[in-house]
Amino acid sequence: MNRFLIPGALLALALVYPLLVQSLPVYERLGALVLLGAIGASAWNIVGGYAGQVSVGHAVFFGFGAYSSVVVYTHLGWPPIAGAPLGMALSVLLAAVIGVPTLRLSGHYFSMATIAVGELVRVLSSTSEFLGGAQGLGGPAIPRTVFDLSFLSAMPFYYIFLVVLSLLLLLTWIIERGRMGFYLRAIKDSERAARSLGVSAGRYKLYAYMLSGAFAALAGSLYLCMFGFVDPDSGFGILISVKMVVMAALGGAGQLFGPLVGALILVPLEELSNSLLGGQGAGLTFVVYGAIIVIIARFLPSGLLSLLNRRKVNRVD
Amino acid sequence: MSLILVQVIVSGLLLGAVYALFSSGLTLIWGMMNVVNFAHGDFVMLGMYSAVMVWTALGGGPFAAVPVAAMLIATLGVLSYFMLVRHIMKGPMLAQILGTFGLALFLRYAAFWYFGANFKTLPDTLVGGSFVFMGLRFEGSRVLAGAMGLGITLLLHFILTRTAIGSRMLAVSEDATAAQLMGIRPQRMQALAWGMAGAATGIAGALIANFFYTSPTVGETLAILAFVTVSFGGFGSVLGALVAGLIIGVVESLSAYLIGPVYKDVIVYILFVLVLWFRPQGLMGKT
Amino acid sequence: MLIDARNVVKAFGAFKAVDDASVSVEEGDILGLIGPNGAGKSTFFNCLTGDLPVTSGTVSFAGADVTRLPPEARAALGLARTFQVPLTFESMSVLDNAMIGALLRHPQARDARAKAREVLERVGLGPLIDTPARSLGTPGRKRLEIARALASEPKALLLDEAMAGLTPTEVRDAIELVKRVHGGGITIVIVEHIMEVIVSLASRVVVFHQGREIARGTPREVTSDPAVIEAYLGRRKVRHA
């Protein structure tokens, strides 16, 4: 089966990657960050890419996940990862609350409304003492049990993220091939036509939004487990939302591997830029980073993966 | 009404007029070609740096800074149109976000690299400090910004609705092909729109710099405000942006005064979501 | 009565685009809606499909009151439509376009795919099954919209200017297609400009002018009605395709 050849090869490569770079912790960390970015962007992809509802407020869910994980530690003494299911469940509820009013909006209005909701939640979180206010909250400083997921190396995180990403992509693949996947793409192309064919567009958009929110929350929980700290900006900041959009769009939104491709390019670039930010010519690498995004948008508006499936379209009547 | 409440409302209106000014460029572009410029806040930021440079290099105040910023940011707008926007506006909406966000990063870090990360402020004596008028206290810089904000937004509205060039631009936004058949060059009109939007945005930046700190990342905060103002008012409507800007300004300063400064944004965002709930096309948007 | 619209009013502000229209369609009928541009026939059509909510009046379909139902619920009851300007799913193949319709009655993708293939063969798009829909021209798109609608296995098919923009030969092909669809037991409502289409297809015609019904009857009766000639034929040259 040719269809499984490329995903299989990718997975095999991903499995041995830490062995290839074992001597360099920097690359282990980088690998983990790429996967984490890909999880967030793949979550976004369900509603933003497949259904074409461009949310620029997914940080709300990411932040809910991260805060749920840290809150179960600070207030209940549980290991942070135990907050992940809580964050996912809360995000599904929250997605329903946000989605019902905003998903009626079309195009840019939906994007703007999600930005506003994201900012609203960010500001509220910075005023909440329960959430540690503007200072944020930290996870366990010293690991108590193995469930605290506090490791010296990034390698365990790498494999945890790899499992989560694989499951998420598998789920997305199943959706893509079933009725929901067809309906989401139809809604993206023309909501009016889809509804004329019996597609309950409102309901399917909401399902996609809730599912997407749940996995964005899981990304947030995993982030907290790895970094052990979250504040309003690193949890709910607009940059978190924008990065999910940009990664997915750069690789190819609405395509299974689009967000992963985007993460493979953007995360290393960003890490490199960050590591050089302190030194001479500070900021120059980010200028290049911006320029690369501009160039890709200019020449490959449908993302990098469009290079692969660029078929010549002839007019037939 | 107590004097202090009047003071709060008047400051809110002055602030709102500035919001309207730095949002009018965004709404013009959005309405004319259905493009949201995610680099808009960074255009404002560069307008602010223009004012800082005019002062540090030439010792010039706002009357020198405003034309300089207008010209610089208008040029930036036209360049962005020809080099980037023209190519991505027909593509998927995501390409617009990707392209203009990339541009935003590019500009933001170019400023970071060139000017450094430190906040810069202009001396408030540059626009006559503050004064008392009819029992109300005014800062010169804010009065100037508010008055010019109101004037320029209205001028922009007038150009778009009452002049030949405005109706040509409108024709292009409604149907570019039909406009072309009538002898209008769509690209020229769109480039002009980017120039006008850039000029308004640059002026806004130069005026804001007199009472707000200037830093490479200030654009992010301002962009969110502009997005909210524009969707609140209805995309494409400069008058809508003006009304929305004034409402937001007043609501912000009232809630900062009555409830507390931290909650002013919360109230504005809630108001915004409510407006979209009842009027999904914004206050003055077309359906 | 398969479709029964009573006293339908659709107002945009003070302007009544449809003013008290009552139209009913019997099962197995082909009803033509005609009228000059801006007569309100397309608005009325969209009130039938649920794309526009009525200001007042009622619409019922297959015995159920659907006045307040959204388009998707009407589609589920068996009311399918095409669009004046085709709304093809641009990013999909021809087959996938038809699958969106087929999935309504066949939730499993495999069954829906089989149904979609069958319908595409029937309307003559068989050879183009794997083509991207965006590469189709206007006649292909119109045909695809009909296929997509048929794949949802409707009781009634509402065609909004299905012939607009077609050449005379293409119009004749399309008329044949509609006749075949009707032969398959589907009730048809057709909004049309081109007289030839109405005359050769419709068994009954309703004429709209300025939001109101001004005549109804067989195509022959209607085309000789002085009020119709005054409102419609008198001012426009009849387009003999």
| pLDDT tens string C108-134 | 999 999 999 999 999 999 999 999 999
The answer, yes or no, to whether residue B259 has pLDDT greater than 80, is yes
The residue written with tokens 């992509």 in the block is: A169
Query: What pLDDT was estimated at residue B194?
Result: 95
How many beta-carbon pairs under 8 angstroms link A with B? 159
Looking at chain A, which residue has its C-alpha nearest residue B271?
A116
Residues in C touching A305 (Cβ below 8 Å): none
The more confidently predicted of residues C8 and C240 is: C8
Query: Does residue C137 belong to the interface with chain A, where contact is any CB pair within 8 Å?
Result: yes
Question: What tokens does B120 get?
Answer: 């810069």
Write down the mean pLDDT value for chain C.
90
Interface contact A294-B103, CB threshold 8 A: yes
Distance of alpha carbon B252 from alpha carbon B256, whole angstroms: 6
Distance of alpha carbon B249 from alpha carbon B18, whole angstroms: 9
Q: At what angle do helices C109-123 and A179-189 cross, to 10 degrees?
A: 50
Residues in A touching C101 (Cβ below 8 Å): 197-198
Measured in degrees and rounded to the nearest 5, phi and psi for residue C188 equal -125, 135
Residues in B touching A111 (Cβ below 8 Å): 36, 93, 97
What ipTM score was computed for the predicted complex, to two decimals?
A: 0.92
Question: What tokens does A26 get?
Answer: 């920097």
Interface contact A249-B94, CB threshold 8 A: yes
For strands C204-209 and C30-34, give the pairing: parallel
Task: For B214-237, give the secondary structure using H, E and C.
Answer: ECCCHHHHHHHHHHHHHHHHCCCC
Measured in degrees and rounded to the nearest 5, phi and psi for residue C49 equal -85, -15
Residues in B touching A106 (Cβ below 8 Å): 280
Looking at chain A, which residue has its C-alpha nearest residue B102?
A290
Q: What is the least distance, in Å, from the CA of A291 to any CA of chain B?
A: 6
Query: Does residue A312 belong to the interface with chain C, where contact is any CB pair within 8 Å?
Result: no
| pLDDT tens string A265-302 | 999 988 888 877 666 666 788 888 899 999 999 999 88
Nearest alpha-carbon partner for A127 in B242, C101, B266: B266
Query: What pLDDT was estimated at residue C241?
Result: 37
Measured in degrees and rounded to the nearest 5, phi and psi for residue C38 equal 75, 15
The answer, yes or no, to whether residue B134 has pLDDT greater than 90, is no
- Is the pTM higher than 0.90? The answer reads yes
Which CATH architecture describes the domain B3-278? Orthogonal Bundle (1.10)
Interface contact C104-A198, CB threshold 8 A: yes
The answer, yes or no, to whether residue A245 has pLDDT greater than 90, is yes
**Res. C156 pLDDT band, cuts 50 70 90:** very high
DSSP structure string for B107-128: HHHHHHHHH-SS-B---GGGGT
Distance of alpha carbon C220 from alpha carbon C223, whole angstroms: 5
Between C76, C92, C139, which is nearest A198 by CB?
Answer: C76
The residue type at C68: R
The set of chains that have 3 or more CB pairs under 8 A with A is B, C
In this predicted structure, which of A106-110, A195-199, B72-76, C178-182 has the lowest mean pLDDT? A106-110
Interface contact C72-A195, CB threshold 8 A: yes
